[in-house]
Amino acid sequence: MADRKIRLGIAGLGRAFTLMLPTFTADPRIELVAASDLRDDARKQFENEFGARSYGAIEDLCRDPDVDAVYVATPHQMHAQHVAIAARHGKHVLVEKPMAIALDQCQAMIDAAKKAGVILVIGHSHSFNAPILHTRALIDSGAYGAVRMIHALNYTDYMVRPRRPEEMDTAQGGGVLFSQGAHQIDIVRLLGGGQVRSVRALTGNWDRSRPTEGAYSALLTFDDGAFASCTYSGYAHFDSDEFMGWIGEMGLRKDPSRYGAGRAALQAATNADEEAALKAERNYGGKNYAPSSHAVSPERLHQHFGTIIVSCERADLRPMAGGVMIYDDKEARLDPVPVPKVPRAEVIDEFYDAIVHGKSPLHDGAWSMATLEVCLAILQSAKTRAEVPTKHPIAVRT
């Protein structure tokens, strides 16, 4: 039994909200009481589905006295402004990744939350996933020695999913570094101890119709001498879920015979306006919206973000959809991790414990600002062809 419920307001009823919706509705610690969105159809569906209030403006949502906390899932470039509004009205804030698109915005968010005395947590990133957290616990146990090297690789169809125009504009937070790097870099920092000291990287921008970064490869150096290679491609050719036994990012089995389906579906849009409309139709409230099935599937495993291998002094550790593979001096074995009844419950664990029990969150503003700094350093290094030092390294809180 929860000590009390967090009465949650939703700012932005888009794609991120639909992925978190099964969590919010299944977790007994959360009660959805209000939402804000610019789209009438999305607000109407929210009102009908939850018997709750909706608003056209986030200011009105944050003035609602029944709202304890706000989940900010608006476009990346608006996160800082919307966190400031929520904090000013005394609301705790759960912010969808990435935290923001500039470091000064991150600092403003941290300052606003501190001034108002409210909790600020940034998530969901896949570093919340239980196998990732269990891998970190195995490292902390000392049984396998210090982390020396990390390899992270993910190939997806991110770049051929329907997008709004700003999602193809790096200056507005578009491209894979902000939306996908926020996952991968957060995972690698968590497993490597957090304190990235320098970044050397290259990026790929290979599709003239999608004029932003669709791929990157980066070498991160940690404060203790460990290093990590991070590679991501969103161009929908190779699918690295093949390396995960065809278990997809959401923890469900994929059909490899559907190769190319995303790219084919995108052909229905002949210009940017049609593509944005196609995305809107599939979002919450749209005529083609379909609720996510990952919450109710009896075959659901843990979510993941591609292949991750952590090389310690005495073993390699590999988080998987069913647990953590341990390759030590004597054997290779799976250390199973139970799948939570509520998907992404780890996010609510952290947010709830911070608000109700006063426990300092791992994914707070300072942590997530450091993740964004690495993502920005990847962009800078690719542009300058030079190694980029970081200025805000944050260690993992244990």
| pLDDT of amino acid 1 | 45
Instruction: Give the pLDDT score at 393.
Output: 87
Share of the chain residues as helix, strand and coil, in percent rounded to the nearest 5: 40, 20, 40
Backbone angles phi and psi of 295, in degrees to 5: -75, -30
178-190 pLDDT tens trace: 999 999 999 999 9
CB-based contacts of 261, cutoff 8 Å, min separation 6: none
- Per DSSP, helices labelled H in the chain are 15-26, 40-50, 58-63, 79-88, 103-116, 130-140, 176-179, 181-192, 261-266, 272-282, 345-356, 365-384
pLDDT, tens digit, 9 for 90 and up, residues 357-383? 999 999 999 999 999 999 999 999 999
Q: For the residues 125-153, what does the mean pLDDT come to?
A: 98
How far is the C-alpha of 343 from the C-alpha of 130, rounded, in Å?
10
101, 166 Cβ separation under 8 angstroms: no
Q: Tens of pLDDT along 283-320? A: 899 998 988 766 667 789 999 999 999 999 999 999 99
Q: Say whether pLDDT at 2 is over 80.
A: no
What percent of the chain clears pLDDT 90, i.e. is strictly above it? Answer: 89
d(CA 265, CA 226): 42
The pLDDT assigned to 291 comes to: 85
Q: Is 51 exposed, middle or buried (0-12, 13-18, 19+ CB in 10 A)?
A: exposed
- Provide the CATH topology of domain 6-125+344-364: Rossmann fold (3.40.50)
Domain boundary assignment for the chain: 6-125+344-364, 127-341+374-389
What pLDDT score does 297 carry? 74
Q: Give the C-alpha separation, 383 to 218, whole Å.
A: 13
pLDDT at 238 over 60: yes
127-341+374-389, superfamily in CATH? Dihydrodipicolinate Reductase; domain 2 (3.30.360.10)
Indicate if the alpha-carbon torsion angle 281, 286, 289, 292 is positive or negative.
positive
94-98, 383-387, 393-397, range with the lowest pLDDT: 393-397
